[in-house]
Structure formats: structure tokens, C-alpha cells
Structure 1
């Protein structure tokens, strides 16, 4: 008997009923025996190879392990029948006629670490030790046993497909009947309300009509001529004179009282509404219908989703406001909202606020393992921002096993600790005026991390104070180049990206370095020094930062003396500085041109 392999398709309900990614076999007629089995294959097809496998058994199960030899589990096909196990991947094909019967419903296949493990559940009659995995017998007996197993499997699948279709039809019919019953009940309720309202209106109309009949006066008698007509005219005139003046007009403003239950007054149950308001008096201030705010501003879930949208758009300030509003409304803070706000604080380099949110999120009871790991890594990064390296190392070490990003952060943390130690010693010697010792410690720090901008800036200041102008110029130039470099290259670690200052700080540092380099160039190259001062002034005016004293830069430009025999400065030369967007996520380039004369 010969069989062809048919790949399962997404539209095949038969394959969807099987829990493992099995393939379906169909029997080929005698006329197709010599035809190629695979669609699109040439007549000369190489015979498949039998893969290596191992197996073991218990009284209830049989375990078969097959090395996949680098093949992805997506390209592995497994098929089982009551007495058949077939596995196909790449150029390998394993076809075993099992010694006993198995239950396909309870059998499972799992791929892990490049090995496919198939757990076959033995049938009730064959729950004993088989001793052998394959059955023994003549070729005809094996073929008959195999055909019977495939037929039985096919009948089971057909029966299940029919049962699924019957259940779906019954479920749809039941849902339709329930929907019709609800509509009928609602129709009856509305009709009863209309009938009661009509009856009350008719009774009220009859009652008023009866009252009006009782109060109706007899018809007046016809007018009789009066002899005292003049006296009556005088009396009427005097009554007109005594009439009170007309009331002055006034404007009255009013507004409708907001109601918690949007139902008509004639259908509202006032007693039940008042009882509900008394029980929930503490939460009425947060109700948007009563305080006049928008309904979305009172929904914590909506505010949290809005915060996520702002965070994905890198608008961290708006995201923090949305998360804070959601946390102020919700009595029980959600860990994922606190974690998201901590991420925004970390992006804005606000380490203390990030630490506070992370600690609150970790104290929540409803926090899962993956979110806890993310929060603890974020907490370690915030501790590094605050230079609390011992606490940061504690949380990094908890998740360094098997995580390359955390391991990279831990390695960079060890480097930063050493650099900070040498930098602190160098700063202390610089304040004491010992420039040699200070420069030595700065050199040690830069050997460990040559891209540490703060150390380069301090060494430049030390060399400027020690009258080492050329070396100071080199340090300033190197630091400006590092500040202008693109930090989003993907080669830096996560901790290095977090410790990188924001764009506004880097631009302010660029102004300081330009001024320091101009100071070092005053004697040897005054023209280049004047160019640096112009660049610093233009960048400071563009930044509009109150911490930068633009007047002192202008004063330095005016005091710088340029000999008359030197060529004039090229006022059309462009200087490029790094500019980071306000959201703190991307880089652009800004060009500044020198003005013809100092401002």
C-alpha cells in the first residue's frame, strides 16, 4: 500500500481538530504507484533517510526522542494513528508500526533544544510493557493492520467534524432563541409602561373635568341701563390712577442639575437612586457626570491607554500626566501603570521619581514574573543615574544569568565605578591645585573608558589651568566630537544609553567646551579662538538657556585682540552641532552661520 503526504492548510477543519501539527495521508490508486509522491517533484526523487531516535516506555506511555539536526520545529510534520507513528522533516522520514495501540487524543509532541520528544499514551488494552517499539509479523499482516488503523483514524476525524458542526448549529439556535426572548420581554415591558401611563393620564383628565364642572358659574344676566353712568366712569378713572406700576424686567439664569442616572423623570426610581448615592458618597467626586468633566477623564483604563500612546510617540511629559491622572483616580495602583510612568521618568533622566515608582510597583501583590524583572532592571538603571552603584549592582545580578543586555549593563557598571573613583580623586586634586596628580587620575579613568565626556572636560580644565594649551585643545575637540556622535548606533549597552545626557545638556556642554577651547587658543591662534567664541554665542542664542551667560561670551569676543595683518574671518563658514528632538529619541543637525559683526 502506498500513501502520499498532504500538507495541512489553514482552511482544513480536519487539521484544526488535531492538537499536534500532523499531516494527513491518503491512499493512492494502483495507477499512481509510479507517479512522484510530492507535488512538483521530479520522477527521480532520492529516498528519504531514517533519522536516529531513542525510545523508552512505562506501563502507560511511550516516549520517543528524535534529534532534529538543526531543522526548525515549524518544518516538522507528525502523524499518529492507533498503531502508526510517522515523523517527517527535511530529508528524514521515520515510519514506525507500533507494537500496541495508542490514544491519539492524549498523545503530545514537544520540540525543545533541537530535540523532538513525542509522548504516546497507551490504549487501555495495551497498558503494559511492550518491550519492543515496532510490531512483528508478515508483510501482509502489517499492511492489513496499518490500513485498519488509518481507516479507524479517518472515521474518528469524520465523526468529530460532524459533531462540531452539530454543536455549532445548536449553539447558534440557542443564542437566537435567547435573543428573541429578551426582545419579547423588552417589548412587553415597554407596552405595559405605555398602558399604565395612558391610564394615569385618562384618570387625571376625567378628574380635572369633574372639578371644572363643579366650579362652573351660572351665566351672567344681561346688562341693564344704569342711571349712574357718570359716577361709574369716575370710579373707573380713580381705580386706574391707583393701579401699581409695572414690574421692572430682570434676567434669570439657571442650569439643569446633572443627574447620575440618565433616565426620564417619569421612569426614574428616585428611592433606589438616593439609596445608591448614599452608599457610594465617597466615590461621587470622581464621577465625571457630577463634577462636569469629560467621561474619558474619569476612566483609569482610558487614561492609561492614552499614556501608552504618548509614551510610544516619545511625548514623555504628556504620558506622565496621563499616568498620574489614572493613578489618582484608581484606588488600587496598577503595577503596569507605575512601570510605564517609571519608564517615562527614566527617559527624562529623573532617577529619583523612577526609583519611587519602581518600588511602589514591586510592593504590589498582583505582579507577574516578567513585569517584575523589567521593573527591577529599570530600578537598577535609575540607581545608576543617582550614582547609587551598590543598589544597582544588586538588582543587575539578580537577572544577569542568560540575559545578554543585563550582563552588558553589569560589565559597563564595573567600568563606570572604576572611572568614577578615579574621576573623584582627580576632582579632589584639581580643587587643591595639584594639577599633576589630577591629570594622572584623569588619564587612568580615560584608559578605562575613553568616551567618558565628563572626565575629558575636567582634564581639559586641568590642563588649561596648568598652561598646557595644546593638550587642552585636543581634549576639548575630542569631547565635542563625542557629544556630536550618534548614540543610537545599537552598539552601546542599555546602561550606557541611559547614562548618556539629554540633548539639552549635551548642547550646553558644547558651549562650555567651545569657550574653554577658545581660551586655550587665545595666544597661539586668536583667529581660531574668535571663531570658537562666535560658534559658542550662536549656539547659546539658539538654545536660549538662562544658565548660559551670553553677555560674558560677548565680552570675551570684544576683549579678544586680533592683529591687523591677520586675514579676516570667513563669516559664511557653517558649524554643525548635534540637536536632539524634544522627546529625547532622535538626532538631527542644526547649522549656524556667523554674523558679519559681533552682536
Structure 2
């Protein structure tokens, strides 16, 4: 059945715009098929068909169509300013109509292809711009990391210089104390020599008095004997054994490798962690008694990690860290969970925090430091930040950390 040509329509114009009203009963935006080019306008709404072979070209890109109230209203913008004598060309044969249709289809295909290519070019430009922005962001992050490293190096250098100055001042103070002690000993020796010389003079005086006056001999002998008694040296003590007890050392380190200052700092940190663990946190009163123990939460997180429930393990470690943020093993275990979940930046953050708490570098925390270095390095490698990993690793690891890491590998 051939389509029904629509002849009943209204149109009006100005010098730049043509308004076309096409009545179609029951038409909706999803039902009508509208095709428009510079010289051809077609509306297909089965069983109705409307075609217009425009007498002058229009701007098909900016022209608009509005569907509603059983009517399609077209707003067609003219390419050339002027008034039209008619909407459609008159006396158009079938061959000419077919040529106009084919030309319009080719124009529409060409415009669609150009539009697709333009969209592809715009997409490529957007991707290139996004890549450029990402590279700038990464470069800024890399520069920020380098600045942080440089600040840490400067801080470490200043701390080392301050420590050397402190050691120098301590040595000078000790030398001053030794000089004062030596001067006190010399004064005591001089006083002792003076006392001996006075005793000798007294003895000589007594002897002269004895020779002059024999009647006073007994009294002189008495005085002389008392003086001799005062100068008598006491008898040596009896032979015996003296028991000496030494304070036990916490770290079994040889004396030639002793790091007393570092060991004392480590013990102070452990004592501080135990003190914080025993403190009462008011906002956690609703927890059970065992849930207030960071060690119990740590064991719970380890069991959840063993069952590959990494999110639950992270929650357990988070609560333990909230109770006590001075235990390095909590950050170390949480870094392992983040590494399993591919949260690489959080892995680096927790490993770094664990390394900050695992100071000073002593034998007892060497194994934990090795684990932190391995997990942090793994995250760097998976992020493909190889240069940052090598620079950081060479700047932060001690000889003991390097030794344990190579043994593990």
C-alpha cells in the first residue's frame, strides 16, 4: 500500500527563517522519522509521508523540529537572506526528485562521516590532554617525593651534627670533671703532707722537752705514745671473697658492638607503648574487655588474614591502632592486607609508618624492618616506581636490613 502524501500544511516566512506546521494526528517524538538536508525535507510517519524539495538551501545543522499536540513545527533557517516565492520547487519530475533524494542521502552520509571523524579527533585530543595532565601530576608528585627525601636527608644531617656536638660537649664536661677530681686529690695529698709535717714537729718538740726536764718524762712519754697511737696504721682486713652483682642487659649485644643509647631509646618506646595500651579511652566504653586489648585485636586480624578475609582483618587492625598507635606490627600487618587488596599507596604508607616506629635499628627489630622494606618495595614495583624505590631503599636501609633482605631473597 503506497504511503499517503500530506498536502495539508501551513508555512510562513521571514527574510531569514521559515516556519512550517505539519499536522499529523497521534504523532509522537519516537514515531516520526525526520530527514533534513540543505534542499530536501522528509517526514515519514506511516502511513503518512511528507516531502518538500526546498526552493532555496537552508542551514540544516541549526534548523529545529518540535513535535507535540498532533503537530510537527519546523524552524528552518535560510542560508541566504530573502523571501521565497514557494516552499517547494514546482514542476519537478520523478528523475529530478530521485536525483535530489540521492544527493541528499550522500550529503547526509558525508556529514555523518565528517561528524564521526571530528568526534574521533576530539576524543583523541581529549585523551592526549588527559595524558598530559596525568604526566604533569605524576611529575609534581615525583618532585614532591624528591623534596621530602631531601628534607629528610637534611634533617638527618642536622641531627647527626647535633649529636656530634653533644658528644663533644659531653667529652669536654667529663674532662673538666676529671680535672676537678684530680685537683681535689692533690689538695687532699697536700693536706696530708702538712699534717705529717706538723706531727713530726710535735715529736721533735716532745723530745727536746724530755731532755731538758727529766721530771716531766712520764708525761712526755704519755703524750708521745698517744701521738704514736694516732699514727698507727690499722691491720689489714681478713682474707675473703666479695660478691659483685651486675645489672642484667636487656639486649644480648657484645660490648664492642654496644648501642647503649639506641637500646635505651627502644626500651623507652616499648614502655610508652605499654603505657598507652593500659590507658582507658572514654569513647570505647561499649567494647568488650578483650576488644580493648590491641594484642587480642592483632591476633584476631592475623586469623582473618589467614582465612583471606582481608577487609575484616583491616578493620581489626584499625581498631587496634586506634587503641594504641605505637605498635609497629599493627601497621606492618595492615600493609600486608592492603598489598593483597592492591591498595598499593596505603601499603607504602603503612610500611613507612612501621619503619618510623621501628627505630632505633637494633637486632631485635631487624626482622620486622626487613618485612616492611620488602612490602614497601613490592608496592613500588607494582606501581612501576622503580627509581623512587631504589633511591628510598638505598637511603633508609641499614647494613643489618640489607643483610637480612638478601638472605631472604
Give the TM bin, normalised by the shorter chain.
0.3 to 0.5
TM-score (norm 1): 0.28
The structure having more radius of gyration, on CA atoms, is: 2
